[in-house]
Amino acid sequence: MLAFIERYFELKRHNTSLKQELIAAFTTFITMVYIAFVNPKILGAAGMDTQAVFVTTVLITAIASVLMGVVAKLPIALAPGMGINAYFAYVLVGSNGLTWQTGMTLIFLSAVSLFLLSLFKIRYWMVSNIPHSLRIGISVGCGLLITLIGLHNAHIIVANPDTMVALGDPKSLSFILGSLGFLIVIALAQRNVYASVLISFVVITAIALVVDPEVSYHGLVSMPPSIAPVTGQLSFKEIASFSMVGVIVSVMLINLFESSGTFIAVTTKAGLADDKGHYPNQQKSLLIDSSASAVGSYMGTSAVTAYIESASGVAVGGRSGLMSFAVGILFLALLFFSPLEKMIPLYATTGALLYIGVLMISELSKIDWDDLTEATPSFVAAVAMPFTFTITEGIALGFITYVVLKLVAGKFKDITVCTGLMALLFLLRYIFL
């Protein structure tokens, strides 16, 4: 059996070993296991059954990671993405008033669209032809929106009729523990502690169990709850409008940028990618990524994406698909720990959300601020997302601004076919809304 594993995953060719891959898998698992508990809390804000979402999150993470390991043979784990889940719960459902079933249908359609783009090899062309400045602006905007949601979850920022927003009550438990959770993540991350988010999560929940009367112990182990409350609940009744096309395209673009960037970053770190960002089994990895999102949304969880936390496993020696395969198996063991999800307060997610916000906003340094035709569209895309509380408007205004400024400046060659088509699509959306 061991000989088969070594041959199948080509451990010798990758200059690795079974022990090294398992250590890398455990490191990656510890780094990203927080998603199993954060995702249900966030999707629960949309009215979804958190226990069922816990199970679907664990299942799709396990399935997608195992497939990535066995089929694409890459050291990259997949799970529901942070950012898309917050956008789904607080914007599509919370702000726009859609039912969570309709919102999940939009996630499903965006995943199917991404699968088709991957199947016909259009996905890589799109990533290569969308301006770098716009990609940065979209990433930063998502980070700002996630930051706002994280602050809101802990009531650090609250609504105010006079000033729109204001500082919450600094003496409240949610304010104090949410802020403490963020500081713990940053302090540990600065010291290169891979499990910084998980440790913050555990510490804040432990404190909450003692000081917060609304948080209580529900046990440790049980049989997995049913996924029936959230699985197979897609609803196509409310999506037959042009405005919904913009949402589908926006979600697809976010997933496209996030996962593609992660694939290239992790495979480069593992020494598997060439100078142009090509890596082994690239087509297979993109198909697994997009199909996992489609299956995941049908099961009842937000879009699945490649996790940058996989880099932590690569950093300790992970080089083959055995790493991601083992990560998937480790996640399956979580199925029996669903009672833990019940005792976690919403403000415990603040540390993770704000930390992700920091990482995404740091991309601002890569913008060419000397070229206003590049910097301005990036700025518009970034600030529009938190101020309109929707990713769709940020992406739309970013693309339109880019094309208009390039035309006015006479820089026609900078407008790629892909960028022009996207700008036209979003402009038509505004005209025919």
Closest CA to 84 of 15, 145, 152: 145
- Residue 243: inside a domain: yes
330: number of Cβ within 10 Å = 20
Task: Quote the CA–CA distance of 376 and 157 in Å, as a whole number.
Answer: 28
Total number of domains constituting the chain: 1
- Place 144 in a pLDDT band, splitting at 50, 70 and 90: very high
- Residue 172: inside a domain: yes
- Residue 157: inside a domain: no
Residue 238 has pLDDT above 80, yes or no: no
Summarised one tens digit per residue, pLDDT across range 39-71 is 999 999 999 999 999 999 999 999 999 999 999
Query: What is the per-residue pLDDT for 68?
Result: 98
If one compares 177 and 96, the residue with the highest pLDDT of the two is 177
Structural domain of 171: 2-135+164-349
The torsion defined by the Cα of 55, 56, 62 and 64, in degrees rounded to 10, comes to 180
Share above pLDDT 70 across residues of the chain, in percent, rounded to a whole number: 99
Query: What is the per-residue pLDDT for 292?
Result: 97
Let me know: does 254 contact 83? Beta carbons within 8 Å. yes
- Residue 248: inside a domain: yes
Query: What is the per-residue pLDDT for 116?
Result: 96
Query: What is the per-residue pLDDT for 127?
Result: 80
Mean pLDDT of 172-196: 95
Task: Quote the CA–CA distance of 169 and 176 in Å, as a whole number.
Answer: 9
- Residue 385: inside a domain: no
CA distances from 4 to 11, 68, 71, 322, 341 (A): 11, 18, 15, 12, 38
- Residue 289: inside a domain: yes
Query: What is the per-residue pLDDT for 275?
Result: 74
Task: Quote the CA–CA distance of 37 and 51 in Å, as a whole number.
Answer: 10
Mean pLDDT of 187-191: 95
- Place 432 in a pLDDT band, splitting at 50, 70 and 90: confident
Query: What is the per-residue pLDDT for 264?
Result: 86
Average pLDDT along the chain: 92
DSSP state of 99: -
- Place 294 in a pLDDT band, splitting at 50, 70 and 90: very high
For residue 313, the surrounding DSSP H or E stretch is helix 310-315
- Residue 382: inside a domain: no
Query: What is the per-residue pLDDT for 433?
Result: 64
- Residue 316: inside a domain: yes
